[in-house]
Amino acid sequence: MDYATSFTPVSALIGGALIGISALMLLALNGRVAGISGIAGQLLAPKSGGRGWRLAFVLGLVAAALLYTLVAGAPQVQIAADTTTLVIAGVLVGIGTQLGSGCTSGHGVCGLSRLSARSLVATISFMAAGIVTVFLVRHVFGG
Amino acid sequence: MRQILSAFAAGLIFGLGLIVSGMINPAKVLNFLDLFGQWDPSLALVMGGALAVGLVGHRFILKMDRPVLAEAFHLPTRSDLDLRLVGGAVLFGVGWGLAGFCPGPAITGAGLGLAPIYVFLAAMLGAMALYRLVMR
């Protein structure tokens, strides 16, 4: 079951700008990159320093959902994947982001903002893999 | 303490950005990736908005001697392209394309009380922890 969604350019740009502002804030104030898979991975590593700010950032993310829901109501979240798919996807995202040192935030926003070649290659790679995966799931195997 | 507060504030703004932009909704992510189906280009503008701010801001911030609250900038220093980078990104992209969740929206979504998000999160965080345990 594929949900239809409509093109929302204004909220997309505003949300994107907020993400950019957050990344700049963390860099200018703490000197840190707002790469969420890196932050989560370091928090989960057996021996790791600097847990405090990382935990605070993650709590800030979760608090955003609570605050938004309180003020504006629950945001629209449409999940088509079944439990098996969610588990497989979660494992792939978990391993892939650690192996590839980043995700949409670290490579796609922060890395590209610094004009990092590694991040450009990573972003093109995960975008292409995502597009091919959706094509296969929706138009070749599924429907 | 001030670094903890600034990190919390940055996380809060980041999370609000993910929600306002619609990235929190896996259907929007999957429709963005569905170039040959019901394509929803919104997320291109999320990235565009973030990069427009990021590209301009980085030019100024990286000219600072040091961050406001810390001794030094901690930036990735590697510039080599290797198989781990590309292979990892491809695995991540396949997982992203299967469920429509990447780490930011999944962690932010923990505040929404939706069971499928916890299933994804448990698998993702478990895999990350296992990777960190095995690779160190």
Return mean pLDDT, chain A.
95
Candidates A44, A92, A131; nearest CB to B95: A92
pLDDT per position as a tens digit, B12-33:
999 999 999 999 999 999 999 9
Each residue of A38-50: b (16+ CB within 10 Å) or e? bbbbbbbbeeeee
pLDDT per position as a tens digit, B29-52:
999 999 999 999 999 999 999 999
Candidates A5, A29, A86; nearest CB to B99: A86
Tell me the mean pLDDT in the region A112-141.
Answer: 95
| B53 alpha-carbon distance from chain centroid | 16
Please report, as a single letter, which amino acid is at residue B19.
I
Nearest-neighbour CA in chain A from B3: distance (Å): 6
Name the residue ranges covered by the structural domains of chain B.
2-135
Name the residue ranges covered by the structural domains of chain A.
9-141
Q: CB contact, 8 Å: A85 with chain B? A: yes
pLDDT of res. B11: 98
Tell me the mean pLDDT in the region A18-22.
Answer: 97
Q: What are the CB-based long-range contacts (under 8 Å, 24+) for A55-58?
A: A56/B4, A56/B5, A56/B7, A56/B8, A56/B11, A57/A26, A57/B7, A57/B8, A57/B10, A57/B11, A57/B14, A58/B11, A58/B107
Q: CB contact, 8 Å: A95 with chain B? A: yes
Tell me the mean pLDDT in the region B121-132.
Answer: 97
pLDDT per position as a tens digit, B76-126:
888 889 999 999 999 999 999 999 999 999 999 999 999 999 999 999 999
Percentage of residues of chain A with pLDDT beyond 70: 99
- The answer on pLDDT for B5 being more than 70 is yes
Please report, as a single letter, which amino acid is at residue A34.
A
What length is written for chain B? 136
3-state secondary structure of B2: helix
Tell me the mean pLDDT in the region A37-52.
Answer: 91
Nearest-neighbour CA in chain B from A28: distance (Å): 5
Tell me the mean pLDDT in the region A17-30.
Answer: 97
pLDDT per position as a tens digit, A25-44:
999 999 999 999 999 999 99
The C-alpha atoms of residue A25 and residue A29 are separated, in whole angstroms, by 6
The C-alpha atoms of residue B74 and residue A33 are separated, in whole angstroms, by 7
- The answer on pLDDT for A143 being more than 80 is no
The C-alpha atoms of residue B116 and residue B20 are separated, in whole angstroms, by 21
pLDDT per position as a tens digit, A68-77:
999 999 999 9
Q: CB contact, 8 Å: B75 with chain A? A: yes
Nearest-neighbour CA in chain A from B63: distance (Å): 10
pLDDT of res. A1: 63
Interface of A with B in 53-72 (CB under 8 A): 53-54, 56-69
According to DSSP H, which parts of B37-114 are helical?
A: 42-61, 83-99, 103-108
3-state secondary structure of A48: coil
According to DSSP H, which parts of A1-116 are helical?
A: 9-30, 36-44, 51-72, 83-99, 112-113
